[in-house]
Structure 1
Amino acid sequence: MLRLSLGAKFTLGTIVAIALAFMYIPLFLVVINSFSAARLSSWPIAEFSTIWWEKAFVSEPIRAALLNSVIVGLGATVIALILGTLVAFALQRYTFFGKQTVNLLVVLPIALPGIVTGVALNNTYNQVLEPIGIEVGYFGMIIAHGTFCIVMVFNNVLARLRRINPSIEEASRDLGATPLQTFRLVTFPQFRSAFVAGAILAFALSFDEVVVTIFTAPPGVDTLPLWIMNQMARPNEASLVNVVATVVILASFIPVWVSQRLARGADERE
């Protein structure tokens, strides 16, 4: 086991503390400013109030943006669960020509810059599909988010499938269970936590996506991140933006925390 000297531990700890402070202090300021009575963000806070939370709660544009974010996130998650799980099973259980290429193509969307994905899909929708009479509209935004959300499910399920002992499934079939019964009673319970964790991460990734949304959202349709970006040019809306940004922070933090707990619980059971 590698042992660090006291000086090395102190140096490493200081670097980690600075990095964490650099990442999370700005988020903390956003959350604190959402409870400021002032119209403009400031520090220190002169007076605390929940007035902006009350206004955000009754704001129709914010409600509509939140609903759009939830609908798109759920739709993208469903696509990711179906396709990500099927591809994971195909790559883990079968050998075929081009297997590594398929693996690369599935993972590639998460590595591509969002603006590249957005431009590519925008061109496809406007220059290929619309001229032949196919209007993707709202569903096109869901498909766009699903392209990169698939990776979340795929990686989680594939990693868990690689750790499943195939002899358990063989024993189930030997005892007379049908393939569907084996999957429902034996296989699925073994990768269920990875399946759920992948779904949660996919939803969180879709919920706070903005770049791809800019290029694929129908006219007049905003998600919460898109609403935030549009309001940044209006200084008088800064306090409302802080409230919505706080909601997005919580919506991103909670799914990640839950997915980590699920993965840890599965590891402990093994």
Structure 2
Amino acid sequence: MRSDKNSHAPFALKVAAAAGLLFMHLPILLIFVYAFTTEDKSYQWPPPGLTLKWFGVTWNRPDVWESLALSVKVASISTLVAMILGTLCAAAVSRSQFFGRETISLLVILPIALPGIITGIALRSAFNLADIPFSMWTIVLGHATFCVVVVYNNAVARFRRTSRSLIEASMDLGANGFQTFRHVILPNLATALLAGGMLAFALSFDEVIVTTFTAGQQATLPIWMLEELVRPRQRPVTNVVAMVVVLVTFLPILLAYYLTRDGDQVAGQGK
């Protein structure tokens, strides 16, 4: 009897899957093509010619570097905040029994379930009421609200798969709370936190809607791209920057996938 692993999908299903993948990814491939076009004001197909000059133009644009630096800074700080708060929330929810635990878990997850425009309007209203000037730090606070969720989801899943007996054995052998965290809990959480942190960085790096409502005069890289499309000067430059955004967000997501795809087999073993 043939096992499920050796069975083949129907041809129609393969065609449908290929069509779906093309529908999702062909526009991204077009961005890559238009980054090399010789036409600087409009999109033509096929491109009238191919050139590498736009990479040099992009390299010499100071506004691109400023926006890129701001995006990296905001994403890094937001990820750090999310990793700390997400891990603490996950530890409290998974390792403690208290009234309203499921409600707190729902409230932690809620920001990523809400439309970004709702989160953006709410944060902007709160900053206005508190008379907080819009700056890089308001962007960080806005991004941290949804970055916490991805870290929390990864950490709480790993906490629940980690045997409580490991912590009890550590305590029985004389380890204090910090030693138990360092030598038992942290090794078991390492890949989950790393994956959650990379996903949070990717989400923050390309966020547009929440950034629009929480930024002042600052422009992150996605906001810069949006403004360039509204008033185009050198459209291939925008496509070159889009390539960078795709690569910067794709690589952490891919690595996070490879770190967590076998998590059920390595739970509690400090992968």
Equivalence for 1:87: 89
Q: 1:129 to 1:170 in 2, by over 3 A?
A: same
Q: Describe the superposition over 1:162-193 as per-residue Cα deviations: whole angstroms up to 9, x where unpaired.
A: 11011111111111111110110111101100
Equivalence for 1:57: 59
| 1:3 positional shift | 9.9
Give me the whole-angstrom Cα distance separating, in 1, the residues matched to 2:96 and 2:107. 17
Give me the whole-angstrom Cα distance separating, in 2, the residues matched to 1:109 and 1:248. 24
Partner AA of 2:161 in structure 1? R
Say if 2:172 is the partner of 1:174: yes
Equivalence for 2:161: 163
Equivalence for 1:200: 198
Asked whether the 8 Å contact 2:134–2:214 carries over to 1, the reply is no
- 3-state SS in 2 of match to 1:209: coil
Partner AA of 2:175 in structure 1? A
Equivalence for 1:212: 210
Give me the whole-angstrom Cα distance separating, in 2, the residues matched to 1:95 and 1:11. 50
| 1:11 positional shift | 1.7
Q: When the two structures are aligned, how many residues end up with a matched partner? A: 264
Within 5 Å, which residues of 2 pair with 1:74-223? 74-126=76-128, 128-130=129-131, 134-135=132-133, 137-219=135-217, 221-223=218-220
Give me the whole-angstrom Cα distance separating, in 2, the residues matched to 1:176 and 1:167. 14
Give me the whole-angstrom Cα distance separating, in 1, the residues matched to 2:247 and 2:88. 31
Q: Describe the superposition over 1:49-86 as per-residue Cα deviations: whole angstroms up to 9, x where unpaired.
A: 22111111111111111011101101110110011000
Q: List alignment gaps of at least 5 residues for structure 2.
A: none
Equivalence for 2:249: 252
Q: Describe the superposition over 1:14-62 as per-residue Cα deviations: whole angstroms up to 9, x where unpaired.
A: 1111110001010001011112222133222332222111111111111
Asked whether the 8 Å contact 1:52–1:239 carries over to 2, the reply is yes
Asked whether the 8 Å contact 2:134–2:215 carries over to 1, the reply is no
| 1:265 positional shift | 5.4
Give me the whole-angstrom Cα distance separating, in 1, the residues matched to 2:74 and 2:139. 7
RMSD of aligned residue pairs (Cα, Å): 1.9
Equivalence for 1:38: 39
Give me the whole-angstrom Cα distance separating, in 2, the residues matched to 1:251 and 1:112. 25
- Matched residues, percent identical? 42
TM-score for the superposition, normalised by structure 1: 0.92
Q: 1:94 to 1:268 in 2, by over 3 A?
A: closer
Q: List alignment gaps of at least 5 residues for structure 1.
A: none
Asked whether the 8 Å contact 1:129–1:135 carries over to 2, the reply is no
Equivalence for 2:49: 47
- 3-state SS in 2 of match to 1:162: helix
Q: 1:12 to 1:97 in 2, by over 3 A?
A: same
Give me the whole-angstrom Cα distance separating, in 2, the residues matched to 1:246 and 1:124. 35
Give me the whole-angstrom Cα distance separating, in 2, the residues matched to 1:217 and 1:93. 37
TM-score for the superposition, normalised by structure 2: 0.92
Say if 2:18 is the partner of 1:14: no
